[in-house]
Amino acid sequence: MIKITRTFAIELLIKLKYISTKLSTHILLDAFDSETDVLLMQQNTPEKFESEMLQYFKMKYFGVANDYLAYCLNQYLNIQCEIDGLVEALETCPCCTYKTLPTLGEYDICEICHWESDSINPTLDRYSSVNQSCLLDYKEAFKQKIVTPILLKKYVNKT
């Protein structure tokens, strides 16, 4: 089993995702019929597009569990590895209680239950316009949903 740092694992995954996305974009561009469609897709400069894409992928791995990073590397490269490094701290989602939110009350969306954090101290019975429900009803609805084990593995723990 290979031991690698968390930073290296994230950088490697970003590069792998970036390459696969860039290939997909080229395939997509090849599928367009008109030159106008291609020009619309390429309005952003390649440097700006690349920078935005790399930043997006970096945020996708913020706070995820080391075991999940190892799982992703195994899926991409078929290698068994152990990831060493501290996981960035995340806030607990008030709905599913997994640590998935970078901040509370900043309208971040939980990847597990999809609750949008619109309040630092949500109450169970206060109606949330962004979630179109109160927290109590949203929690009850979430209990009925099936969440994939891979998604649950992504985050460090439930509080």
Question: In terms of domains, do 66 and 99 share one?
Answer: no
Q: What percent of the chain has pLDDT over 90?
A: 46
Q: Quick one: the chain helix, strand, coil %, rounded to 5?
A: 45, 15, 40
Question: In terms of domains, do 74 and 27 share one?
Answer: yes
pLDDT at 84 over 70: yes
Q: What average pLDDT does the segment 44-50 reach?
A: 62
pLDDT at 18 over 60: yes
Question: In terms of domains, do 78 and 98 share one?
Answer: no
User: What pLDDT shows up at residue 44?
Assistant: 55
Domain edge (last residue) among 63, 84, 105: 84
Minimum mean pLDDT among 35-44, 56-65, 126-135, 150-159: which range? 35-44
Please count the structural domains in the chain. Answer: 2
User: What pLDDT shows up at residue 28?
Assistant: 47
Domain edge (last residue) among 42, 61, 84: 84
* Model confidence band, residue 42 (pLDDT cutoffs 50, 70, 90): low
Q: Look up tokens 């390429």; give the residue.
A: 42
Domain edge (last residue) among 84, 106, 126: 84
User: What pLDDT shows up at residue 22?
Assistant: 62
Question: In terms of domains, do 7 and 79 share one?
Answer: yes
Q: Look up tokens 């985050």; give the residue.
A: 155
- How far is 128 from 118, CA to CA, in rounded Å? 7
* Model confidence band, residue 146 (pLDDT cutoffs 50, 70, 90): confident
In a domain, 159, yes or no: no
Provide the residue range defining the domain that includes 14.
2-84
Instruction: Name the residue with higher pLDDT: 74 or 48.
Output: 74
Question: In terms of domains, do 79 and 8 share one?
Answer: yes
- How far is 127 from 121, CA to CA, in rounded Å? 13
Question: In terms of domains, do 70 and 103 share one?
Answer: no
